[in-house]
Amino acid sequence: MQPRWVFTEQRQATGKYWTFLFRRAALATLICASTYLSPVGMMRSAVAQTYKVSPGDVLMITVYGDVGLSGLFTVSVDGTIGYPILGNMDVSQRTVPDIASTLQSSLSQYIANLSVAVSIKEYAPVYIIGDVRSAGKYEFRPGMIVLELFALSGGLREADEKADASGLELVTARQDYADLTLQMLALDVKRARLEAELKGTDFAYVIPPTQEDNVINNQIVASERTLHELAVAAIETEKRSLLRQKANYAEEIATLEKTTSLRRKELASLEEEAEASTMLANKGLLVRSEMRERQREVSGANRDMLEAGAFLARARQNENETDQRILSLLLTQRNLAAKELREVSVDLARLRKRQAYSLRIISAVSSAAQRAASGELDIAPQFSAVRMIDGKYHENQLAETDLVLASDIVRVTVPKTADVLIGSMH
């Protein structure tokens, strides 16, 4: 609910201009009506002779001497009329005398001694829409200007509607500012969480004094704290798992090293026995089968040593990989935090600019009534016409004294207070 003074001052600010403009438009209507009873009416008649036919016009064609060829013909959307004997005839953007001359020339090939007269029985209507009292269809007259059609529609709507709209603009602007403030707080809390993850510190955020310490703000901080705790817990869980793996690999390495040491001693003993058996066999004191058995035992011990060495190397490699995974885990988390922190910083900068701009709009809209009352702010209606050009509809801006064409759809728009103020600020 807006304060009463806002609507009162807005009515005073906009009512003066609209009253002046409506009186001006009404005066234009009286002047236009009087022209038909004065020599200016003759000028209107001359304008009608140079008027170019448009779709929707109704032509009265009179053929003296042949009633069957006389009648009323409506110009279709494609600019043609269906005429007896001649078929479809293009009359768009042609004057009445030109059409009469073409008809007489074409009909003379079939019927001699004919006289043809063409006049416009009814012009295609014009339409007016937008911020007017009586939008709708109106009769067109050659030479009609925008201000005349505007007067026929009753002028602008009641000022109360515009005053209410201005009040709604102020409410909307304030709501946008509040939304931006909330978004900035959420991003700032997220920034604090990302910085904590990047530095590996605890998350802590104190709501600024400019912010209301309400439930929503506390919920935002609590949500970010929960996200931080979950992220830290996930990393710690995976880190503990990797540390346990590393401890297992270390234990396996220690066991393999002890086993290798024992096998090395066993191998040395077997090699001594094999060497002794070889000497005895060479002297004939030991059968050679015994010697070969000792040699096979040495070969098996060497094979076991090689396998143990491979197991030991694999265990050490796994231990190194675990160390790399622990380091990569921390680096990955910090890289992600740094990337998100950069994006958050950019978004915060954009929101600060939008918030400053929104604050300027609120200030400007709040003072709009005083500025308009003092004549500093002129909120005038804008006119445009939607008309068909080369088979397509186009909308172009019009001035108050521009001519209106048949079939035109004139749009009247009173700019919103905020739009006018934004334009003035630019």
Question: Which two tokens mark 183?
Answer: 């978004």
Residues 136, 409 contacting (CB under 8 angstroms): no
Q: Which residue has the higher pLDDT, 49 or 40?
A: 49
The yes-or-no verdict on residue 3 having pLDDT over 50 is: no
| CA separation, residue 257 to residues 260, 270, 306, 332 (Å) | 5, 20, 13, 34
Nearest CA to 162 among 362, 410, 412, 409?
412
Least confident stretch, 48-62, 82-96, 153-167, 401-415: 153-167
Mean pLDDT of 63-90: 90
CATH 3.10.560 fits 125-156+381-425, yes or no: yes
| CA distances (Å), origin 369, targets 159, 376, 413 | 13, 10, 19
CA–CA separation, 322 and 239 (whole Å): 10
| Domain range list for the chain | 52-123, 125-156+381-425, 169-374
Look at residue 402 and tell me whether its pLDDT is greater than 90: yes
Higher pLDDT pick, 416 / 304? 304
The pTM is what? Answer: 0.43
* Mean pLDDT for the stretch of residues 202-225: 82
Amino acid at 288: R
- pLDDT above 90 for 57: yes
How far is CA 161 from each of CA 156, 327, 357, rounded to the nearest angstrom? 10, 67, 27
Q: What is the mean pLDDT of residues 142-147?
A: 91
197: Cβ contacts below 8 Å, ≥ 6 apart: 228, 231, 232, 333, 334, 337
Q: Which of 264, 267, 288 is nearest to 277 (CA)?
A: 288
pLDDT of residue 176: 86
Query: What proportion of the chain, given as a percentage, has pLDDT over 90?
Result: 25
Q: Which two tokens stand for residue 277?
A: 């058996």
Neighbours of 67 (CB within 10 A): 9
- pLDDT tens readout for residues 232-256: 888 888 888 889 988 998 988 888 8
Q: Lay out the sheet containing 409-413: strands in order across.
A: 136-138, 126-130, 409-413, 382-389, 392-398
Cβ–Cβ contacts within 10 Å for residue 256, how many?
Answer: 19
Mean of pLDDT over the chain: 80
9: tokens are 């001052």
Q: Which two tokens stand for residue 332?
A: 């990955």
**59: β partners:** 73, 120
- Fold for domain 52-123? wza like fold (3.30.1950)
Q: Give CA–CA dist 362/377, Å, rounded.
A: 16
Residue 265 pLDDT level (bands cut at 50, 70, 90): confident
Q: What residues does 136 pair with on adjacent strands?
A: 128
